[in-house]
Structures are given as C-alpha cells and as structure tokens.
Amino acid sequence: MIITVDGPAAAGKGTLSQKLADKYGLAYFDTGMVYRAVGLMMLKQTLELSDACAAQKMAGELTFATMMELSRDKDFRSSIGGQAASIVSSYSGVRAQLLDMQRNFAKNPTFADGSPANGVIYDGRDTGTVICPHADVKFFITASSEVRAKRRYDEFLQKGMNVLFDDVLRDVKARDERDANRKDAPMKPAEDAIILDTSDLNIDEVFQKAVAFIEERLK
C-alpha cells in the first residue's frame, strides 16, 4: 500500500504520517529530508543558496545514507535548515535529480533496521501529484498559517530552541509564498486527494478521520 500526505509547512503531515505508518506497518519517507539535506550540504560548503547549478550538483551527489547522516546535524531541522531547503527545492534541476531516489524507495520498502514493510507512506507536498501519482490513498493536510506557526513554535520550544513566535509566523508565510509560486511543484492537492483542514482538530481527531478514509478505500 502506498499513501501520500501532502500539504503546507507545519500542517501536521509528519505526525499523521508517523501514526499511520505505525498502524499499517508502512515505511515512512519524509521527503522534505532530501531538500533539507541538499540545503545543508550547500551551507556546510559555504555555497550560495542562490546558486542553482551548485545545488543541482549537490542533489546529484546525494545518497540515502548521506541524507540519514546529515539528518543528525543540529541545523537539519532548524529554521535555517528549513529556509535553505525551501530555496533549493525551488530549483527544477534539484527536484529532477532527487526524483528517482524518492520513487525508488517504494520498490522495496524497508524499515530502518532493514526489515520489509507493507508499503510506504510518503510525506511531502508533491508526493501525491509528482512522486507517486498512483498512490492508493492521498491526503492533503492543511491549517491556517497562524495555527501552523503556533505548532512549529511549540516544537522549537520543546526542543529548547530560543525563537520568537512572530519570526516563526513570518517564516511560515515566507515559505508558503515561495512554495505556492513554484512552477514545477506548486502547492496544490492532487485531484483525487482527501483534503483535511486540521485548524480545529487535535492529532487524534485527524488520525481517526484519516483511518476512516483509508478503511473505506481498502474495502
């Protein structure tokens, strides 16, 4: 089974995906990681994020193992890492280089320990439209920018990071703006996606709704 979970930054894609992966025994691919990895490689090598050619080259050199290694870096999930990812992900050459790596994962999905999974859950904003248009179930998770900024702000605080809410909100809006205007992977639900607005729902409510849709689809 292949499930895709698309939607804007901090809408709750990751939490929902993890819970669904656990319930259905699916391997989880957080596709934002490929862009975070390329962005971080650029930063570490002090390359200009505006250099699309350099970013494309970095993307071509990225392996799954390198991505996993970079994911342990303190900047990988930080606001700086998110901005860098957002910038490099706007280059079509970068996206093209990273397509096979993401698609190939579904051919032989495994968990981190190498054991086989029942399928994959892809988390990321173009997974239902570009990466896996033939997925069995597609979700598009959204919420207002204020609600999303508050969730991200709380996450940062929990991790002990010192941030201001207004900065996080500005960051979320800047990313929305950039992501919405991308030519090759604009932020839009797949035609057959189930749209879930999570602004007024807690994670358990979102999860229950998603499970109900999946059970219906599996009948």
Backbone angles phi, psi at 204, to 5 degrees: -65, -40
Residue with tokens 């934002």: 32
Whichever of 71 and 197 has its CB closer to ligand DC, that residue is 71
Should residue 56 be labelled a site residue for ligand DC when binding is judged by CB under 6 A?
Answer: no
How many angstroms separate the CA atoms of 8 and 143, rounded?
8
CB neighbour list of residue 52: distance below 8 Å, 6 or more residues apart:
91, 93, 94
Q: Cα angle at 21 between 19 and 25, to 5 degrees?
A: 130
Q: Tell me how far, at minimum, the Cβ of 86 lies from ligand DC, in Å.
A: 3
What minimum distance in Å lies between the beta carbon of 81 and ligand DC?
Answer: 8
Minimum CB distance to ligand DC smaller for 180 or for 218: 180
Question: Residue 202: is it exposed, middle or buried by C-beta count within 10 angstroms (0-12/13-18/19+)?
Answer: exposed
**Interface residue with ligand DC, options 31, 56, 142, 145 (CB under 6 A):** 31
CA distance 94 to 182: 13
Residues 28, 121 contacting (CB under 8 angstroms): yes
The contact pattern for ligand DC, residues 123-162, with x = CB under 6 A and - = no contact, is: -xxxx-----------------------------------
CB 84 to ligand DC: min, Å: 9
Size of interface with ligand DC, in residues (CB under 6 A): 16
CB of 83 to ligand DC, least distance (A): 8
Which residues form the interface with ligand DC (CB under 6 A)? 9, 31-32, 35-36, 82, 85-86, 89, 124-127, 175, 179, 185
